[in-house]
A and B are shown apart, each in its own frame.
Chain A
């Protein structure tokens, strides 16, 4: 997609979002879309490291939870508004991403994956024992009465999430098409070769872990407002990690649009299944789709589409 086309499309989506809040007054659609958008940001964020450089992060839920708990802490301590806590969550989670990356990215990829697993458990234990934010008991976040100029609270959260999601996509697209992106792709294809040909591999990897962390924190920041009650078990939910790996894998990891497509497809499917079949199938389906896609179509949906186009050209 060319530059102006992308921005026009983004503007159109945003306008459609605003129109949606004006026309529809059914909070279900806002709540359901919120869940899909949250998954979308997580998927886009995961892909910045996982897809662009090939390093796997198993600790997505931890970044997400830290984002949520940043909001809780700042709300309890200083009564800061959502916009400020989103920025703070980006900062905190970006720093955590940088820290984990700095400690382990010099090593083989699997060590990074395991470090993210361990980091998740350490952070969860810390939150469990930090009683100011509720500790293991969890904490309440009552919905405030004012919600800017929106008709309802769910509309506001929906718009916040929409703006954040578009921002995340723009950042991801920018990263992939810039010089940084080419460097990252070089790392994914052959790190040693990239290093030898002068790509500053460590610095590039650190940039992407930081951006990934920040973005996941941003996705988690509004979460306490959405569920009103947060405890470590639900914030550090493994399902968040599974989704943020599965969605880019299904959509295709090599292109910035892959996680977007994957998240929209899988996310809305999950929402639809929840209110239709509503059973274990829901969880099973994600697992099966993930395994089927990566064994049969390792390039994801984006790869399938590309192949199709090539065939038609030829």
Chain B
């Protein structure tokens, strides 16, 4: 009897030990510094995914555990972090931090270890490396730089009378300049005349002189590549100067965030800007509502975007794809995982995802949305449909453009 008990106990311990050995997923994230707002929101979304998976029994019957460090939005911190994750913590899987600057320093290390690298919002970050195990969840498309603004110019092209001239203005920093370069290419390809093409330093306080200089060049449409504080400055300045352009917007980061939307209010009306997910009926993918409900609860009091439409669903989705790959291949073999992710159409909270060239989305889903009927000082209005109407691409369209743009 005693012996049987002992044997049973030993067996129980052994299986408990095997089950207790969790799958470790490692990453660095900007939890302080300039990108911390986005980094913290992404982390919340990723933790929701982890809890969802663990509640359903984990992956391969093992619980999922995160090992993550704060890169403080400093690229120099990224190489030590990823070598620590891979060589010291011996994580099973890695995913990226947020943003091009924090993703790229990890690339050579991840490549040397031949690991799958799902990555979060790096703009054309794989263009130079061409690493075949890199997968970008941001739906910018196979040609990220031009796909980003294609919709904006395509929409302009369809209007009557057809706009002829364009102004391009962008902040002096990585994303905005790439967006502007893509816009320049699109404008030329589609036969627009560029009448103003300038950049401004991110630390600009007053945007009215810039908008006035644009006004003086009398463009029909204005493409702006900007970051949150300057997006606010540009929208306010355009309103104050009474910008006469017929379309305004394009690549403005920040107009996707609830706090800024609330503050700008009706000034946003008819601005046409990019987005990746908005609560329109055409984009109501399975699971996204449930996810956002969880996110909005978790985000309370954390100083992050309260609605979480922009980044969090994608942060959830890039984990979802990795998790599904582990489940489907029943292994942690990096080669098998990469093959699976590359060759499968994934069902995620952000819709069907298929990867193509350089690990970017096979087809772009850079949406062009137009702000409509926005009321002053009301945050809740943005939680539902109707305020950000999808104009482009046709597949996701939920309304028609108001043209010309009037303040």
- Seen from chain A, the residues whose Cβ lies within 8 Å of a Cβ on chain B are 26-28, 30-32, 34-35, 38, 125, 128-129, 135-138, 140, 142-143, 152-154, 223, 226-231, 233-234, 237, 239, 271, 274-275, 278-280, 282-283
Contacts and interface: CB of A to CB of B under 8 A. Distances in A.
Contacts of B84: 28, 31-32, 275
Contacts of A282: 32, 70, 72
A136 B174 contact: yes
Q: Choose among A38, A223, A237 the residue with the greatest number of B CB atoms under 10 Å from its CB.
A: A237
Contact of A136 (B70, B76, B79, B199): B199
Nearest to B83: A28
Contacts of A32: 80, 83-84
A26 B87 contact: yes
Interface of B: 31-32, 34, 68-70, 72, 74-81, 83-84, 86-88, 100-101, 104-105, 107-109, 112, 128-129, 171-174, 177-178, 181, 199, 201
A228 B105 CA distance: 6
B78 A227 contact: yes
Given A28-B88, A138-B174, A140-B128, A234 B79 contact: no
Given A135-B177, A136-B172, A35 B70 contact: no
A301 to B, nearest CB: 25
A125 to B, nearest CB: 7
Nearest to B77: A274
Binding site secondary structure of chain B: helix
Given A229-B75, A234-B75, A234-B101, A28 B174 contact: no
B83 A228 contact: no
12 contacts: A26-B88, A28-B88, A136-B173, A226-B79, A226-B105, A228-B107, A228-B108, A229-B105, A234-B74, A279-B31, A282-B32, A282-B70
A140 B173 CA distance: 15
A143 B174 CA distance: 21
A229 B101 contact: yes
Contacts of A153: 108
Closest 6 CB pairs of A and B: A229-B104, A136-B172, A28-B83, A31-B80, A27-B83, A137-B177
Contacts of A233: 34, 101, 173-174
Nearest to B107: A228
A231 B173 CA distance: 8
A51 to B, nearest CB: 24
Nearest to B176: A136
Given A26-B87, A136-B171, 10 more contacts: A28-B88, A31-B80, A138-B100, A153-B108, A227-B105, A229-B101, A229-B104, A233-B173, A234-B76, A279-B70
A137 B76 contact: no
B74 A239 contact: yes
Contacts of A283: 32, 72
Contacts of A226: 76, 79, 105
A279 B199 CA distance: 34
